[in-house]
Amino acid sequence: MADLMEIISKRKSVRKYSQKHIPDGDLRKVLEAGRLAPSWMNVQSWKFILIKSQENKDLISELSIGQQQVKHADALIVCIADTNAWDEAKITDIQNPALNPALQCENGIVIRSLEQVIYPVSYMMLEAESLGISSCIIGAFGSDVTEILPDVHERVRKTLNLSEGQIISTIIALGYEEEHKETVKTRKSFDEVVALEKLGQKF
Ligand SMILES: Cc1cc2nc3c(=O)[nH]c(=O)nc-3n(C[C@H](O)[C@H](O)[C@H](O)COP(=O)(O)O)c2cc1C
């Protein structure tokens, strides 16, 4: 098994996929990695919808402003932030809203719910990479909040059977890289993003 740091370093966003299908067992492992992610008070305020049909990939691609990698991915995972999960968890022993997002205002719950999904998304992306499956996170898509493609957003919500309070947070496109290309990771330097004790002080 590859070292985790190796998987992190090697992973890159891939937008062109081969025709090869991902075995269901591997898709299940990817989803399982998401299920095991941590969350605030273990609320697990997420749902993951696996999309394999071309019809639904086309619809999600339309919502993603026509991004072709969404259309041509072998599978998509639509990650849902479920704002209802905090109430459903029925955590009554923590009465301080700073410690219990269920007691926060609607915006607070939405922000916290979206925040939780980052962890399973990262886990799923890395598990996919460890299985030799490439991915691309898709954050550019329409919604009623951004008022971009609200009608398509409504169609997607209906198709995916989303309830009130369930928000599309992230889409993960998955597939095998069409043709392996070496890429250089362009990132800010270690010193630009890491400080010791205070900004401006080197580690
Ligand atoms: C929250 C988020 C949203 C993103 N949205 C898109 C997107 O809509 N379309 C796309 O092609 N890539 C998208 N990306 C991929 C980034 O462009 C990519 O991760 C970044 O350029 C770094 O490249 P790398 O992933 O190859 O290391 C997104 C990444 C993140 C984390």
- Residue 21's φ and ψ, nearest 5 degrees, are -90, 150
Three-state DSSP class for residue 95: coil
Give the list of residues 6+ apart from residue 90 with CB closer than 8 angstroms, or none. Answer: none
Q: Which domains does the chain have, with CATH numbers?
A: 4-193 (3.40.109.10)
71 lines ligand 1 (CB under 6 A): no
Gyration radius (Cα) of the chain, Å: 18
- Interatomic CA distance for residues 177 and 120, integer angstroms: 22
133 lines ligand 1 (CB under 6 A): no
Identify the CA nearest to 165 among candidates 104, 113, 121: 113
For residue 172, the CA-to-ligand 1 centroid distance in Å is 10
Looking at the DSSP assignment, which residues form a beta bridge with residue 154? none
pLDDT at 1: 64
* Pocket test residue of 17, 78, 115, 137 for ligand 1, highest count of atoms within 8 A of CB: 137
200 lines ligand 1 (CB under 6 A): no
Q: What is the pLDDT along the chain (203 residues), one digit of tens a residue?
A: 679 999 999 999 999 999 999 999 999 999 999 999 999 999 999 999 999 999 999 999 999 999 999 999 999 999 999 999 998 888 888 888 888 877 878 888 999 999 999 999 999 999 999 999 999 999 999 998 788 999 999 999 999 999 999 999 999 999 999 998 888 899 999 999 999 999 999 99
67 lines ligand 1 (CB under 6 A): yes
- Interatomic CA distance for residues 129 and 177, integer angstroms: 11
Minimum CA distance residue for ligand 1 atom 9: 138
pLDDT at 21: 98
Helices 24-35 and 106-130: angle between axes, nearest 10 degrees:
140
* 127-128-132 Cα angle (round to 5): 115
